[in-house]
Amino acid sequence: MAEWQNVIRKRDFPMIAQGSCEGNGMVYLDNAATTQCSRPVLWALEDYWQHQHANVHRGVYCLSSKATAAMEETRQLTAEFLGASPEEIVFTFGATDGLNLLANAFAAGELKPGDLVLSTEMEHNSNLLPWLEACRRSGARLELVAVTEAGNLDMEDLRRKLERKPRLLALTAVSNVLGTVNPLEEIIPLAHEAGTAVVVDAAQAMRCRETDVRALDCDFLVFSAHKLMGPTGVGVLCGKAEWLDRLGPGRFGGGMLRELNWPEAAYEAGGRKFEAGTPNLSGIAGLGAALEYLQAVGRKRIAAYEKELLHHAEKRLSAIGGVRILGAPEQRAGVLSFVMEPLQAYDVAMLLDKKGFALRSGRHCADALHARLGLSGSVRLSPAFYNTKGEIDALADALKEIGSVSRKAGIPVGEKTRG
């Protein structure tokens, strides 16, 4: 184990070092679902509730000004983290919330009957259902770009569909099932040539990929803090300034009104136009601490180590008779999913739980992808930088044992692939 990693495990993630789930030695490998908060995040949350809690942009008193300044500081920090400007940052309640906000705004003011919207077969439901509903409401049509057998986005299909000049392409940066890293550097210019705006779902990408929205030139990008060692219930929608100016607010309420000249209402400019109601203020404080923490550990170091860990997992798991890893994408990050047929994914995850491993089973909210793969579910391994190769080795041993015990019980796990 690298020295830095040993330090952060013990110092910043005691539950990970001791074994989660009341210290019973559980190895936590479900980081694609949510990550554990680092200690600095927990301190920031406590500090917020003890010293800063008041509503923002509303009071002239000292505490409200302090809370407002802290939130705006986090906006600045988030903008720097993404390579955007603070006016382009909207605080949301998570990636799903950001995508719904966008889809509502597009349905209300941008999409017209007959318009084409594209998403892909590998999306999380949070980047499908909001667009499906937006299309239903506006009379536009949603089509999905195909995924190849290997689990890559089918670039030929994308090119063909772009010829029809879709209004929007909403796609993930990293698949939450296959770990496919989509070549955004290639896709976004192609989309823009067709006059198509691009929404990037970066929920799985922010921790393991450095993301600069200016370099990418995406029109919108969303993520959640809880997949970055931050708290739940808070996220970010980053949008190009010209788009945020052009779109309607998507939802309405206190905090986003500039002037009411009844019945005419004028709204705030920039990101604040989209922040109706009281934001998740403690969550935003936690998000700021999470971003600072990732910067301090080093995003390049995190990305390199997580890549090494995933590569190790791929090597170990693919050598186990009966384990079939889903897809072989050109580039994989963050997650690896597998099946152990004829065992059900649910049963494999339950057996792993009994052996002290926390992995997710099911469709991982990627129903369209599982339908494409002809599977009712899979088991997902998603290590983070606080996990170790030793934990992956222990998981591989546990899977081997599950396979051999099943075979002894007459369940032919891997029988076809053995020998």
Binding of ligand PLP at residue 96 (CB under 6 A)? Answer: yes
Q: How far is the CB of 260 from ligand PLP (least distance, A)?
A: 32
Residues 194-253 binding ligand PLP (CB under 6 A) are 201, 203-204, 224, 226
Instruction: Give 32 or 102: the residue with its C-beta nearer to ligand PLP.
Output: 32
Contacts of 409 (CB under 8 A, 6+ apart): none
Amino acid at 412: P
Residue 280 CB, shortest distance to ligand PLP, in Å, is 12
> Can 218 be counted among the known catalytic residues?
no
Question: Quick one: 124 or 207, whose CB is closer to ligand PLP?
Answer: 124
Q: Which of 45, 70, 91, 94 binds ligand PLP (CB under 6 A)?
A: 94
Q: Which residue type sits at 210?
A: E
Q: How far is the CB of 366 from ligand PLP (least distance, A)?
A: 8
Q: Which CB sits closer to ligand PLP, 191 or 203? A: 203
* Contact between 97 and 126 (Cβ < 8 Å): no
Separation CA 233–CA 224 (nearest Å): 8
In the complex, minimum distance from the CB of residue 201 to ligand PLP, in angstroms, rounded to a whole number: 5
Cβ-based nearer residue to ligand PLP, 67 or 218: 218
Closest CA to 383 of 418, 322, 334: 334
Nearer to ligand PLP by Cβ, of 18 and 232: the residue is 232
Nearest approach in angstroms of CB 213 to ligand PLP is: 17
Read off φ and ψ for residue 250, nearest 5 degrees. Answer: 85, -35
> In whole angstroms, how close is the CB of 94 to ligand PLP at the nearest point?
3
Of residues 279 and 322, the one with the C-beta less far from ligand PLP: 279
Contact 218, 199 (CB under 8 A): yes
Q: What distance in Å separates the CA atoms of residue 393 and residue 51, rounded to the nearest whole number?
A: 44
Of 90-98, 309-317, 385-393, 407-415, which part binds ligand PLP (CB under 6 A)?
90-98
Kindly indicate which of the ranges 21-29, 51-59, 124-132, 298-306 contains the residues binding ligand PLP, using the contact rule CB under 6 A: 124-132
Q: DSSP for 97-163, please give it.
A: HHHHHHHHHHHHHT--TT-EEEEETT--GGGTHHHHHHHHHHT-EEEEE-B-TTS-B-HHHHHHHHT
Closest contact distance (angstroms) between CB of 283 and ligand PLP is 12
SS3 75: helix
DSSP state of 36: P
Task: State the number of binding residues for ligand PLP (CB under 6 A).
Answer: 15
First to last CA, the chain: 34
Q: Report if residue 126 touches ligand PLP, rule: CB under 6 A.
A: yes
What mask, x for binding ligand PLP by CB under 6 A, covers residues 11 to 50?
A: ---------------------xx-----------------
Binders of ligand PLP in range 144-183 (CB under 6 A): 172, 176
CA atoms within 13 A on the CB side of 324: 20
Tokens of 374: 């002809």
Q: In angstroms, what is the C-alpha Rg of the chain?
A: 22
CB of 382 or CB of 387, closer to ligand PLP: 382
| Shortest Å distance, C-beta 174 to ligand PLP | 7
Does residue 189 have a cis bond before it (omega within 30 degrees)? no
**Residue 355 to residues 136, 291, 332, 348: CA-CA distances in angstroms?**
46, 33, 27, 11
The correct pick among 100, 127, 138, 196 for binding ligand PLP (CB under 6 A) is: 127
Give 30 or 115: the residue with its C-beta nearer to ligand PLP: 30
Q: Select from 93-101, 208-216, 248-256, 336-344 the region that touches ligand PLP (CB under 6 A).
A: 93-101
Are the CB atoms for 342 and 412 separated by under 8 Å?
A: yes
Distance from C-alpha of 101 to C-alpha of 402, rounded to nearest angstrom? 44
Catalytic residue, candidates 135, 218, 238, 365:
365
Q: Which residues contact 227 (CB under 8 A, 6 or more apart)?
A: 31, 32, 34, 35, 203, 204, 206, 207
Region near ligand PLP per CB under 6 A, out of 121-129, 142-150, 275-283, 387-395: 121-129
Footprint on this chain of ligand PLP (rule: CB under 6 A): 32-33, 94-96, 124, 126-127, 172, 176, 201, 203-204, 224, 226
Residues recognised as catalytic: 365
